[in-house]
Structure 1
Amino acid sequence: MKYTTLPNTDIKVSKICLGTMTFGQQNTEADGHAQMDYALEHGVNFFDTAEMYSVPARQETYGSTEKIIGTWFKKTGKREEIVLASKIAGPNPNFTYMREKNDFSPASIKFALDQSLQRLQTDYIDLYQLHWPERKANFFGQRGFKVQDDAWEDNIHSVLETLDGFIKEGKINYIGLSNETPWGIMRFLEESKNFNLPRIKTVQNPYSLLNRQFEVGSAEVCMRENVGLFAYSPMAFGVLSGKFLTGESHPNARIKLFPQFSRYNSEQCTEATRLYQEVANKNGLSLTELALAFIEQQPFVTSTIIGATTVQQLKENIDTIKVSLSEEILKEIDAVHAVIPDPAP
């Protein structure tokens, strides 16, 4: 395994992070425990979760992933060996079962954090993230910023003050953002700098061969401001394994089980995947190796979040840390990107 540190800290994290959102839906508690055992045994010391998991989010499975991680901590006693990240859900009218109001008010943050700590069976979370903005700025399936009615009033100072209180209490060590825009990242950094409030360490956004929009704006922000990217969906819901190019049905695949996740189902995504498969074949790599190695060696990526439904998939993903792509291969990847840029919104 390769390691780095959370920006502006001395916390060592593996360059591969175990994503856990399948625990409690596609994976049982026993499956989740087996994945965490395997990941830690192979050097992965960084786990990411969220209060809304498992996915797809629904009332019946709300909090199930955190509960499974919590029972693993209790069983193994290995909480201190793990850098643990979780998230508070932002506004969504379908998530009223989580709490009366899904916002980042002091009361909501306190309730969400305390509930997460209880489910996780721990006294603290190493990295606590805002899962998506309160303002109408970034939606799954939407490409770019859309001007629209937005009643949001800038409360970033209040949010940072609230999180600062929980840091001082010892319930949180560090904070981060997720699904953020360049403006949002800079706005948080500005407020922390001007008022000596906690500084965000990371942002967790989608980044893959099929979605390189992070490179436009956000990558420069992260490099110049020393904010780390946690890249999620690096395999594009399994599309970048190449398994959907074979003609087989794969009925248990995420995009088959949950057709509402159509982000990577377009003809453009299929064609781009086929072209990336050709690049991988030409260079003696699997498409999985090509896709993950590309993300892992980007200088603005702190850690790549991988999610698997089987230990075998997890093994293949973790093993990609040994792969290094040459400048020639990177040029071939960029040539495909130039023909079909960012097919997934």
Structure 2
Amino acid sequence: MIYTTLPHTDIKVSKICLGTMTWGNQNTQEEGFAQMDIALDKGINFFDTAEMYPVPASPETQGSTSTIIGNWLKERGNRDKVIIASKIVGRPSDYTAHIRTTGLQGDSIDEAVNNELKRLQTDYIDLYQIHWPERETNTFGTRDYKHNPNDAWEDNFKEVLHKLDLQIKAGKIRNIGLSNEKAWGTMRFLEESKKNSLPRMKTIQNAYSLLNRTFEGDLAEISMRENIGLLAYSPMAFGVLSGKYIKGTAADNARLKLFPRFSRYSSEQCTEATKRYLEIAEDNNMTLAQMSLAFVTQQPFVTSNIIGATSLEQLEENIGSIHVNLNDDLLKAINDVHTAMPNPAT
């Protein structure tokens, strides 16, 4: 395994992070335990969860993923061996109304942290992230920003940082980060932190893959110049970049078979780009999955690459991508496809 540190900390994390959002829905607790055992044995010490998980979110399953992690930590007795990241839901929506409808207002952060600590059966969370912005902006598959002058959100960056600061001072969380955030919000949080001597956002967890390289716009520069590391999620584009949907080898419990509404990586453009990437991988004697993951891991702004799997075979292959090095010729071939078909995913 290769390790790095969370920006502005001395916390060592693996360059591959274990994503967990299928546990409690597509995966059982027993399967989650097996994945964590293998990941830790392979050198992965970084696990990512959220109060909302598993996905798709529902009142019946909400929090199950973190409960599985907590049960594993208790049974294995190895809390000191792993770095745990979690998230609080952001803007209220019908999708998460069963969790809370108050966003980050009032006692929401305190309530969310306490509930997550109980599920995880731990005294502290190493990295606590805002799952998505409270304000209206273009997240979750929306390509372009459309301003809504009637958005009821009021600027509360300072207030949110203050509430997170109280959690840090109470010893409940160690560091804070963002998720699904844009350039403006990221810089506002950094500005308020500097101006008011409040905790600094250390990381940003956004989608990043061969089919969605939009992070390479303004956010990549912010990441490098401000040292706020990307935790890249969906590096496999919901499994599309395994090539299994093109080859017709996807299992019945594959994500897009179970949940076809998650279609942001299923357009004609995405399919065509994936075919081209698959050809490059096969010409270079590697799987498309490992090429896709290695591409993400090698980016200079990536702190850790969040992989997910529904089977142990997938997990082993994905972890093995850490040993794949993409040379200049292969990277040029990848970038030629990107130039011809930039960011086909919405």
What is aligned with 2:94? Answer: 93
What is aligned with 1:38? Answer: 38
Q: Per-residue CA shift, 1:193-228, capped at 9, x if unaligned?
A: 011100000000000000000001100000000000
Q: 1:106 Cα deviation (Å)?
A: 4.0
Answer whether contact 1:269 1:343 (CA < 8 A) is retained.
yes
What is aligned with 1:5? Answer: 5
Stretches of structure 2 lacking an aligned partner (at least 5 in a row): none
What is aligned with 1:308? Answer: 309
Match of 1:59, SS state, is: coil
Stretches of structure 1 lacking an aligned partner (at least 5 in a row): none
Using structure 2 for the length normalisation, give the TM-score: 0.98
Q: In 1, distance between residues paired with 2:250 and 2:31?
A: 23
What is aligned with 1:284? Answer: 285
Counterpart AA for 1:251:
D
Distance change in 2, residues 1:249/1:307 (3 Å) = closer
Q: Would you say 1:179 and 2:180 are equivalent positions?
A: yes
Counterpart AA for 2:117:
L
What is aligned with 2:105? Answer: 105
What is aligned with 2:114? Answer: 114
Match of 2:193, SS state, is: helix
Answer whether contact 1:255 1:261 (CA < 8 A) is retained.
yes
Q: In 1, distance between residues paired with 2:36 and 2:328?
A: 34
Match of 1:60, SS state, is: coil
Q: In 2, distance between residues paired with 1:94 and 1:128?
A: 21
Q: 1:151 Cα deviation (Å)?
A: 1.4
Counterpart AA for 1:114:
N
Q: In 2, distance between residues paired with 1:328 and 1:174?
A: 39
Q: In 2, distance between residues paired with 1:327 and 1:236?
A: 23
Match of 2:186, SS state, is: helix
What is aligned with 1:211? Answer: 212
Q: In 1, distance between residues paired with 2:106 and 2:131?
A: 16
Answer whether contact 2:139 2:181 (CA < 8 A) is retained.
no
What is aligned with 1:82? Answer: 82
Answer whether contact 2:230 2:304 (CA < 8 A) is retained.
yes
Using structure 1 for the length normalisation, give the TM-score: 0.98
Q: 1:249 Cα deviation (Å)?
A: 5.5
What is aligned with 1:231? Answer: 232
What is aligned with 1:323? Answer: 324
Answer whether contact 1:106 1:159 (CA < 8 A) is retained.
no
Give the aligned length: 344
Match of 1:114, SS state, is: helix
Q: 1:141 Cα deviation (Å)?
A: 2.0
Counterpart AA for 1:162:
K
Q: 1:13 Cα deviation (Å)?
A: 0.1
Q: Would you say 1:53 and 2:53 are equivalent positions?
A: yes
What is aligned with 2:27? Answer: 27
Q: Per-residue CA shift, 1:86-111, capped at 9, x if unaligned?
A: 00011213322213x23112400011
Q: In 1, distance between residues paired with 2:38 and 2:252?
A: 26
Q: Per-residue CA shift, 1:21-47, capped at 9, x if unaligned?
A: 000000000000000000000000000
Q: Would you say 1:139 and 2:139 are equivalent positions?
A: yes
Answer whether contact 1:95 1:102 (CA < 8 A) is retained.
no
Match of 1:56, SS state, is: coil
What is aligned with 2:247? Answer: 246
What is aligned with 1:126? Answer: 126
% identical aligned pairs: 61
Root mean square deviation of aligned Cα = 0.9
Q: In 1, distance between residues paired with 2:144 and 2:254?
A: 28
User: Counterparts in 2 of 1:257-272, with a 5 A limit?
Assistant: 257-272=258-273
Counterpart AA for 1:15:
K
Q: Per-residue CA shift, 1:243-287, capped at 9, x if unaligned?
A: 111134632110110011011111111100000011111212110
Match of 2:107, SS state, is: helix
